[in-house]
Structure 1
Amino acid sequence: MSYTPAEVSFLMDHHEEIVSLDLALTKASRLKDAEVLKEKFGDFGRAVMELVTARNSGKLPHNWLMDADSAQQATPIGVAAYRMSFLAEQGVHTVHDLTCSIGTEGYNCPFDYFGSDLDESRVRMARYNLSSSKIFRADALTTTTTADVLLADPARRAGGRRITRPGDLVPPLPEVVDKHRGKELAIKCAPGLDFSEWDGLVIVASVDGGVKEACLYTPGLGTGRNAVMIRGEKIDVLDDQETNLPEAGDIGSYLIDPDGAIVRAGLVRHYAAREGLHQIDPRIAYLTGERIPEGTSAFPFIEKVPLKRLKSVLKSYDAGSLEILVRGVEVDPDQLRKKMKLKGKKPFAVIITRIGSQGIALLCQPRVSSSEDNYAT
């Protein structure tokens, strides 16, 4: 639940008291914590509870003002930092964030950052979080600006569901482009958005293996498709410039499930070419080869198993636990695990997928991480 402007002012004025609070913040303690805050802060207790809970997520700087929705919707700090670094490399000197919310994109921005938002409470929080006066209330579709690049993040959900069509975003992506025609744009979207018709650059970003967003850049900022994978301090960027792409082939020593950013960006074969791998089927994203790419994990391959024989094969291997991956086949992993009725002692993994027209189970040893023994530099 968002704050009123009065609640934002209260949270600012009582920053030190709030920081010094000692609350359990567990599911079991939630009612007791709320009672403590109600007694201490009166009608503002709800806002304080929302703030300390949102801060407890650890996604954003611990001293920022935020509510549950803005914290959940916020761009990860690492993704925002990469974007600003990328724009700086393109010669950008000023960015106007048309939907700035609480200011995540402006955190540690290396050049001039201006922000605007329709929500007055979020504007106040952004000013506080960034210690900036360059943030104001405005509609993303009517703002005029002289900034080098306009950044926008249209709402990606409606009625509790993810939006997959550009015209259904709020505001609609075509309308954002039309209203600011002639300006360079960077538009953040859900990674599942159909961006096949976008003429400019699309960068799909993931953090620790979880896909976070696709950002669409107008052609003046670049073209093509990139995948950006952020793991801790390391950033791996994959582009679509490779032309010598491998064909699908036989299964090798390892099976690799590429980072979701690679899959969403349509760069599976490009990644395979870079890492000396190939697909097990031209329509399926699983890769295989004789090495595990540095900084990733994979499954040592054992054998192909017809789906109808999987239960008996697992029993013969004394399987007791099972990691299940599914792609290209309608199988529910939880139901399959129950159906297997595992009673053994050894851990295994199984990839349920399709090779050609045949659904197949690929039995593997448990997931292993790359090391000097299984990747080549």
Structure 2
Amino acid sequence: MGYGFTLDDVAHLRSDAGRAALAEVAELPLTDRLADVTAARRIAGERSAAVLETVLLRRRAAAKVDGAAGWLFTDDALQQATASPVGRHRAARFAGRVVHDVTCSVGADLVELARVADRCVGSDLDPVRLAMARHNCGPDQALVRADALTRVSRASAVTADPARRDSAGRRTWKPSDFLPPLDELADTYAGVDLAVKCAPGIDFAVAPWADEVELVSLDGGVREACLWTRGLATPGVSRRATVLRSGSPEWTITDAEPDDCPVTAPGKWVVDPDGAVVRAGLVRHYAARHGLGQLDERIAYLTGDVPPPGVRAFRVVEHGHYTEKSLRSVLRKHDVGRLEILVRGLDVDPNTLRRRLKLSGTAEMTVVLTRIGSGPVAILCHAERT
């Protein structure tokens, strides 16, 4: 659960003495808990726990939130905070709008909205998080303490990120246990354009009021599902996958595109679509866009003679019926000593299998274990960046 910050802690961390203590503790290696606590107490006295926790949270946040070195967080707030590239992507739909972030927490989404919105306001019930948001977002940001289920602004566009933990702090997947509950949130803002950030594993059927569901991945990891309504949704689109990669242009695919693709035997390449595409149910659409076929209509592996540009694809070396014995023989033939094992559609644990294979060669390869029809198949490949 992390350290329980108070308003007095936040006031101290924002003071000259607090900033000086944070800077000094930030110079420590923080690799020995006992030594770290002792040093923090020497530097920050009775506020040592708040100072030490803040430095640790800032280090964790560095890969997630832009400018995190100067931010204030709680542990829970950091866990739920949107990664900055994902927040920027979501905020783009609010450009020029008057927006209310009704679960603003410490402000990770709010700072991105402020860059593009005509005006924006943030609200939260937690006074500590609001105080941290004031620090993180700056003195000009409009903030108010309010329940997300009480309408306190006239904004025509609302965004929310319900907490997905129950009263005991355990992660929950039941929308009725979200804080605030998902359906109550939708009912409260039924008359305005609403966007709700959810975990990517949510069952889309629990939100029949959502006009568009967007799955977003960042650098290969699926980060969120966003439920869009009314004027924030794209006409004619009910499902979208958006792929963000550092240093590369973002791209998106929707269910408005064609989904005609064949089911075919393994070709020259095997392609594993981005997780956002798979989770959004757009594998066939992605295959049709890139001239690929499915190995099996129930499995999300694709194949073809030319892989899409800019992806990690697998050049096929050979393939055949999978048994552990036959795979071991194929790996010996190709002198494989380092093996990446990808599995979909079979009950195989890659780590357990790798130990049993007892690899001893020098080559590095990838094996795709999957099901085509009713039979298990092993496809030996070289992984390449296209």
Q: TM-score, normalised by structure 2?
A: 0.89
Look up the SS of the partner of 2:152 in the other structure: coil
- Stretch deviating more after TM superposition (305-314 or 38-47): 305-314
Distance 1:300 1:224, change over 3 A: same
State how 1:133-148 maps to structure 2 within 5 Å.
133-148=141-156
Partner of residue 187, structure 2: 178
Is 2:271 the counterpart of 1:238? no
Is 2:116 the counterpart of 1:110? yes
**Structure 1 contact 254–291 (Cα < 8 Å) conserved:** yes
- Structure 1 CA distance, aligned partners of 2:261 and 2:197? 31
- Stretch deviating more after TM superposition (47-56 or 151-160): 151-160
Q: Give 1:171 deviation, angstroms.
A: 2.1
- Structure 2 CA distance, aligned partners of 1:218 and 1:293? 32
State how 1:59-208 maps to structure 2 within 5 Å.
59-60=64-65, 61=67, 62-88=69-95, 93-108=97-112, 109-111=115-117, 112-131=119-138, 132-158=140-166, 162-196=171-205, 197-208=208-219
Is 2:239 the counterpart of 1:225? yes
1:135 alignment partner AA = L
Distance 1:292 1:123, change over 3 A: same
Partner of residue 9, structure 1: 11
Partner of residue 276, structure 2: 261
- Structure 2 CA distance, aligned partners of 1:340 and 1:161? 38
Partner of residue 282, structure 1: 297
Partner of residue 225, structure 2: 214
Distance 1:118 1:166, change over 3 A: same
1:256 alignment partner AA = V
**Structure 2 contact 199–225 (Cα < 8 Å) conserved:** yes
Distance 1:335 1:226, change over 3 A: same
1:227 alignment partner AA = A
- Structure 2 CA distance, aligned partners of 1:147 and 1:41? 42
- Structure 2 CA distance, aligned partners of 1:148 and 1:273? 37
Q: Give 1:36 deviation, angstroms.
A: 1.0
Look up the SS of the partner of 1:121 in the other structure: helix
Q: Percent identity?
A: 43
Q: TM-score, normalised by structure 1?
A: 0.91
Look up the SS of the partner of 2:353 in the other structure: helix
2:33 alignment partner AA = R
1:129-169 CA distance string (max 9 Å, x none): 11134112111112332112111111224467654443342
- Structure 1 CA distance, aligned partners of 2:190 and 2:339? 53
Look up the SS of the partner of 2:203 in the other structure: coil
**Structure 2 contact 272–313 (Cα < 8 Å) conserved:** yes
Look up the SS of the partner of 2:318 in the other structure: strand
- Stretch deviating more after TM superposition (161-170 or 262-271): 161-170
- Stretch deviating more after TM superposition (259-268 or 61-70): 61-70
Distance 1:150 1:16, change over 3 A: same
Q: Which blocks of at least 5 consecutive residues in structure 2 are unaligned? A: none
- Structure 1 CA distance, aligned partners of 2:239 and 2:259? 16
RMSD: 1.8
